[in-house]
């Protein structure tokens, strides 16, 4: 059994931003020398999300607009009234989620033709750290 | 340590469809001979979702209506304006998610009395492939 | 390879309630003696959710209000028309999710400074059981 862990550190630039993580995760899976197993991608933050989706700049804007329309940063959220100012980003995080579990098959990260791994920044710019843990043989 | 992987291939028939995967997953867990461990169920698609819910035909309709009301396939989504025509299905996928991690206890897939594993087709009919990976002892 | 499983049993008191699980999970990780691995937290219920978020009483209320506003328990849901009376709780469960996969590093459950593990009760008061499975070395 092999367990291999590595952190991805990055700085976001925008309030709302979508960042593709594929290259980072694929490199870590390669470095792990795990040929069959699973990969945990874990965010230790409460105002970003991790998700799989198409790498389409139009869809990126659609998701941003959808989330902002459904979960605007209403000043009446209690978290905002009492000084937090980012209740919207927290709620988006709860809905989108903070971790992903993917598969490694034949030494490679398994992703569908249209699938990409994204970090959704909901309250940037900030420094972010993502743990990647590969478990298998 | 045992790692056992198998694909489920199926064809959906409707635009929106809910398909129970329990029987497939239970058979794969049995075939894996893993008695204690975890199961990753992974979709390689960006217009379906994987989720746990009650197997209740009324609730199935409620979920479909809820998702269609909250995320209608508005022609103004940029993904649709530029030819995608299925932005709604992509957004549903991001919200519902593309993978599930479940438990194997005493050689059996652990599910609550009312829990079922569903593939939610949001843009059918299409051919779909789901990877099931059992990891344990 | 070590695999260690333990159930958390608890009774919720309110219709809607947020319960922090950190102390339970941390104690189980410690008892497992796994120093490097992953933790699966699995709910066998269809009317609660498991999620990570800030431990902020205002944000707790914001999440409750957000979910109740977006997913009110409309008597017209078919599940309610036909006697279920908790369609809203089921839909919240599908959106929030029934399992979490977290990391164990250096013998400790990895959580960010602001991260807490929550059980969201959407249809209490009820008895609930959560399986925690630690897999690693």
pLDDT digits (tens, 9 = 90+) for A113-124: 999 999 999 999
Taking CA B93 as the corner, what is the angle to CA B91 and CA B94, rounded to the nearest 5 degrees?
A: 65
Contact residues, chain C, for A82 at CB < 8 Å: 58
Regions in chain C scoring below 70 on pLDDT: none
CA distance A27 to A21: 10
Complex confidence, ipTM = 0.96
B120, closest residue in chain C (CA to CA): C94
Using a CB–CB cutoff of 8 Å, tell me whether C38 touches chain A: yes
Cis peptide before A136 (omega within 30 of 0): no
Question: In angstroms, what is the C-alpha Rg of chain C?
Answer: 16
For residues C85 and C99, what is the distance between their CA atoms, to the nearest angstrom?
Answer: 24
* C-alpha dist (Å) from residue B96 to A65, A72, B85, C87: 18, 20, 19, 17
List, for residues B22-32, the tens digit of each pLDDT value.
999 999 999 99
Rounded-to-10 torsion of CA C34, C40, C43, C46: 180
Q: What is the pLDDT of residues B67-100, one digit of tens each?
A: 999 999 999 999 999 989 999 999 999 999 999 9
Record the tokens describing residue B111, joined without a space: 């599910």
pLDDT at res. B133: 98
CATH code for A2-136? Answer: 2.60.120.460
pLDDT of residue C112: 97
DSSP state of A23: H
CB pairs < 8 Å spanning B and C:
87
pLDDT at site B42: 98
pLDDT of amino acid C99: 98
Q: Could you read off the pLDDT of A38-61 as tens digits, one per residue?
A: 999 999 999 999 999 998 999 999
Residue whose C-alpha is closest to residue B36's, from B98, B133, B107, B124: B107
C69-97 pLDDT, tens digit per residue, is 999 999 999 999 998 999 999 999 999 99
* Residue keyed to tokens 């998701």: A63
Whole-number pLDDT of residue C39: 98
Q: How many CA atoms lie within 13 A of A112 on its CB side?
A: 20
Alpha-carbon separation of residue C41 from A41, C7, C94, C98 (angstroms): 16, 10, 16, 8
C31-52 burial code (b ≥16 CB/10 A, e <16): ebebebbbbbbbbbbbbbbbbb
CA distance A64 to chain B (A): 10
Q: Is B78 on the interface with A (CB under 8 A)?
A: yes
CA A81 remoteness from chain centre: 28
Give the chain A residue whose CA is nearest to the CA of B128.
Answer: A112
Does residue C91 belong to the interface with chain A, where contact is any CB pair within 8 Å?
A: no
Contacts of C113 in chain A (CB under 8 A): 44
Percent of chain B with pLDDT over 90: 99
CB atoms inside a 10 Å sphere around CB B124:
18
The DSSP symbol for C122 reads S
C131 close to B105: Cβ distance less than 8 angstroms? yes
C62 and chain A in contact, CB less than 8 A? yes
Considering only CB atoms, C99 lies closest to which of B102, B105, B113, namely B102
Q: What is the pLDDT averaged over residues B3-25? A: 98
Cα(C100)–Cα(A40) distance, rounded to whole angstroms?
11
Q: With an 8 Å Cβ cutoff, are B99 and A101 in contact?
A: yes
CA atoms in the 13 A half-sphere facing the CB of B48: 29
Mark out the alpha helices in A12-130 (DSSP H runs). Answer: 22-32, 57-70, 78-81, 87-96
Three-state secondary structure string covering B28-76:
HHHHHCCCCEEEEEEECCCCEEEEEECCCHHHHHHHHHHHHHHCCCCCC
Angle, vertex CA B3, rays to CA A112 and CA B101, nearest 5: 60
Which residues of chain A lie closer than 8 angstroms to C114, CB-CB?
A: 45-46
The pLDDT confidence band at residue A34, using thresholds 50, 70 and 90, is very high
Mean pLDDT score, A66-73: 97
Mean pLDDT for B43-71 is: 97
Query: Quick count: other Cβ atoms within 10 Å of Cβ A131?
Result: 19
Encoded tokens for B57: 């035909």
**Residue ranges of the domains in chain B?**
2-136
Rounded to 5 degrees, φ, ψ at C70 are: -80, -30
Q: How far is C56 from chain B (nearest CA, A)?
A: 24
Which residues of chain B have a CB within 8 Å of the CB of A107?
A: none
| A66-83: average pLDDT | 96
pLDDT tens across A103-112, in order? 999 999 999 9
- The whole-angstrom separation of Cα A13 and Cα A2 is 35
């Amino acid at each position: 059994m092999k367990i291999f862990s590595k952190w991805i550190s990055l700085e976001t630039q925008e309030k709302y931003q979508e960042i593709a993580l594929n290259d980072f995760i694929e490199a870590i899976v390669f470095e792990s020398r795990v040929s069959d197993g699973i990969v945990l991608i874990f965010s230790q933050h409460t105002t970003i999300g991790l998700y799989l989706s198409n790498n389409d700049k139009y869809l990126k804007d659609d998701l941003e607009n959808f989330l902002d329309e459904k979960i605007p940063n209403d000043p009446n959220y209690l978290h905002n009234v009492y000084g937090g100012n980012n209740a919207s980003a927290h709620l988006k995080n709860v809905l989108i989620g903070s971790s992903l579990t993917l598969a490694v098959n034949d030494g490679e990260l398994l992703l569908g033709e249209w699938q990409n791994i994204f970090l959704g920044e909901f309250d940037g710019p900030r420094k972010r750290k993502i743990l990647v843990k590969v478990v298998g043989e």
